[in-house]
Amino acid sequence: MKVATPYDTGRKPTWCPGCGNFGILRAVKQALSELRLEPEKVVVVTGIGCSGRMADYLNVHSFHATHGRVLPLATGIKLANHELVVVGFAGDGDAYSIGVGHLPHAARRNVDLTYVVHNNMVFGLTTGQFSPTSPRGFVSKTSPSGTVEEPLNPIAFALACGATFVARGYVGELKHLVWLMKEAITHKGFALLDVLQPCVTFNPQFGYKFYSERVYKLEDEGHDPSDFEAAMRRALEWGEKIPIGIFYKVRRPTFEEALPQLAAGPLVKAQLRVNIADLIERFA
């Protein structure tokens, strides 16, 4: 019997049975619950694609945005009220293809938000094209002869962009994923959580069997997440062994902490009556 949580909307997901998104959705609800975050304090920003529908299934504030545009929109929301918990959800196409240009800057700014990427190495909702994380030679509807591009390494990329929290999860390790989400959300700064998930309909070869045989936890191998170079080395591992866990975690001032205009409180509560007599004087 399913017990309703405060984060349930009662809407039935439109995802295919067996979709990795179900696991991510469950993990988010569990993480928010364990963190005791009231729904009214949380905002999720979703991109376009199957993962974009997350907004309909989470009873929190939400903004279902345009393709690739989760990060700047989420940044605007965070700047407007930095006391809100802001979490972005985007697919690998949304985050690493059309939206990749925003990633270095969100990382550099170190805005305190969490970016969960549903990485299934394919464009699902548009019915099966390759994505920037698909391996070279990937056969799809737009690459019938196999892709001739190297895949992007999101972990190494995020590290190089200066992200202060970089992690990878896997929907087949749900408890671990819940833990990673909690860590990412509570991390003060920009947190990227790349989540490996099968797309059972358009990318079955990279399914549960493929991942379960390869993933290992960084924590089990004594990885030190404060060591950047070690993180980079682990980031380059992909093949017979695929590391999941926290690659890198460091505390640096966030974008919001560096803005004196936010010291008095959230912008949304600022006094709207402004007197500009002193500014006008400058033009006399």
Partner 1 sequence: MRVNSASILIGGRAGDGVMRAGRVLSLALVRAGLNVFAMNDYPSLIRGGRNFFKLRAEEGEVRAQRRAVDVILALDERTVELHAGELEAGGAVVYDSDKFDVEEGTALRVPVPMTSIAKEAGAPEVMRNSAGLGAVASLIGLDFELLEGAIRALFPSRWEGNVKVAKAGYESVADEVKERAPVKVAARPAPRKLLISGNEAAALAAIAAGVKLFASYPITPATPLFHAMATLGPRKGVVVVQTEDEMAAALMALGAAFAGVRSLVATSGPGFDLMVETVSLAGMVEYPLVIIHAQRQGPSTGLATKTAQGDLLFSVFAGHGEFPKLVVAPGDAEEAFLRTVEAVNLADKYQVPAVVLLDKHLAESYWTVDSLPAEVPVDRGKMLTEAELGQLGGRYARYELTDDGVSPRAPLVPVEGVIVKANSSEHDERGYTCSEPRVVASMMNKRFKKLEKLAEEVERLEPVKVHVRAAREADVAILCWGSVKGAAIEAARLLEEDGVRASVVQVVYMWPFPKEGARKVLEGASLVVAAENNKTAQLAKLVEAEIGVKASSAILRYDGRPLDPEEIRDGVVAALRSD
Binding site for partner 1 (CB under 8 A): 9, 11, 38-41, 43, 45, 53, 55-56, 59-66, 69, 71-81, 84, 101-102, 104-105, 259-262, 264, 266-280, 282-284
- Nearer Cβ to partner 1, position 73 or 235? 73
- 92, 76, 96: which is closest to 84 by C-alpha? 76
- Nearer Cβ to partner 1, position 106 or 218? 106
Minimum Å distance from CB 102 to partner 1?
6
In three-state form (DSSP H/G/I as H, E/B as E, the rest C), the secondary structure along the chain is: CCCCCCCCCCCCCCCCCCCHHHHHHHHHHHHHHHCCCCHHHEEEEECCCHHHHHHHHCCCEEEECCCCCHHHHHHHHHHHCCCCEEEEEEEHHHHHHHCHHHHHHHHHHCCCCEEEEEECCEECCCCCEECCCCCCCCCECCECCCCCCCCCCHHHHHHHCCCCEEEEEECCCHHHHHHHHHHHHHCCCCEEEEEECCECCCEHHHCHHHHHCCEEEHHHHCCCCCCHHHHHHHHCCCCCCEEEEEEEECCCCCCHHHCHHHCCCCHHHCCCCCCCHHHHHCCC
- Nearer Cβ to partner 1, position 123 or 211? 123
Minimum Å distance from CB 35 to partner 1?
15
- Nearer Cβ to partner 1, position 109 or 168? 109
**End-to-end Cα distance, the chain:** 73
Q: Do the bridges between strand 114-119 and strand 191-196 make them parallel or antiparallel, or are there none, so unpaired? A: parallel
- Nearer Cβ to partner 1, position 64 or 233? 64
- Nearer Cβ to partner 1, position 5 or 212? 5
- Nearer Cβ to partner 1, position 111 or 199? 111
Minimum Å distance from CB 88 to partner 1?
11
Minimum Å distance from CB 142 to partner 1?
22
Minimum Å distance from CB 58 to partner 1?
9
Minimum Å distance from CB 95 to partner 1?
15
Minimum Å distance from CB 134 to partner 1?
25
- Nearer Cβ to partner 1, position 215 or 262? 262
Minimum Å distance from CB 11 to partner 1?
6
- 211, 180, 206: which is closest to 193 by C-alpha? 180
On whether the CB atoms of residues 2 and 22 are closer than 8 A, the answer is no
